[in-house]
Amino acid sequence: MKSKLIVAAIAITILAVSCQKDPVRNTIDQRLLGKWFYTLDTLKYNQNGGTYNIISTATYNRVEFLQFNADGTGTDFYNSVATNFTYSVTNNLITFNYPASSIPTAIGLVYILPYTKKANIRYATANNLALLFNEYIVNTGFTENDYEAKYFMK
């Protein structure tokens, strides 16, 4: 009888441990993979107490895009400038890591320090993607809270 209780206790322990929920890991979200073309960009921001809304009504011509690769790298091609990044996804949050870079302009190179951006995946289907960004900016003379939604199509 005692051995049956020991076997039952071991079985229950094994069952309880094996049924625990796996922790959420940084993974590549398969829904994101591929080239996504910009379709709409909206921005709402609060600056020094005032609220402003900007809705881009530009018709994107399937040139500007966001590319997600399976190895955790990607490219953001916007305003004729390609910027490479690495990314990870935890739950519905994408973390973009941009390295230091330089952008040629009419007056010379503009140097950009490395930076990180985060976006919530509002939805991701086979052909549509919506990302929501929220950034808080403190600068000399003003503070700003930006809420930006970017929409994409394959």
Residue of 101 and 35 predicted with greater confidence: 35
SS (H, E, C) the chain: CHHHHHHHHHHHHHHHHHCCCCCCCCECCCCCCEEEEEEEEEEEEEECCEEEEEEECCCCCCCCEEEECCCCEEEEEECCEEEEEEEEEECCEEEEEECCEEEEECCEEEEECCEEEEEEEEEECCCEEEEEEEEEEEECCEEEEEEEEEEEEC
Does the residue 84 lie in any domain?
yes
Looking at the structure of the chain, the number of domains it has is 1
**Structural domain harbouring 134:** 25-153
| 32 burial via Cβ count (<10 Å: 0-12, 13-18, 19+) | buried
Q: Is 7 domain-assigned?
A: no
CA distances 68 to 2, 44, 45, 76, 78, Å, are: 58, 26, 27, 9, 15
Confidence of residue 19 (pLDDT cuts 50, 70, 90): low
**Span 103-113, average pLDDT:** 86
pLDDT computed for residue 65 by the predictor: 93
Average pLDDT of span 73-83: 90
Confirm whether 100 is domain-assigned: yes
- Which pLDDT score is estimated for 5? 42
Query: How far from 145 is each of 8, 51, 68, 103, 124, CA to CA, in Å?
Result: 58, 9, 27, 26, 25
Residue 95 lies in a domain: yes
Token pair of 101, please? 């870079």
Residue 148 lies in a domain: yes
- Asked if residue 125 belongs to a domain, the reply is yes
Q: What would you report as the CA-atom Rg of the chain, rounded to the nearest whole angstrom? A: 23
The reply to whether 138 falls in a domain is yes
| pLDDT higher than 50, residue 7 | no
Calpha distance 3→105 (Å, rounded):
79
pTM: 0.70
Residues 49-63 pLDDT 10s: 777 777 665 556 778
Would 64 be classed as within a structural domain? yes
Q: What is the pLDDT of residue 29?
A: 78
CATH number for 82 = 2.40.128
- Closest Cα to residue 110, out of 86, 134, 83? 83
pLDDT at 4: 45
Query: Any idea which of 45-54, 101-110, 128-137 has the lowest mean pLDDT?
Result: 45-54
* More reliable by pLDDT, 34 or 59: 34
Query: Which of the residue ranges 20-34, 87-101, 103-117 would you say has the lowest mean pLDDT?
Result: 20-34
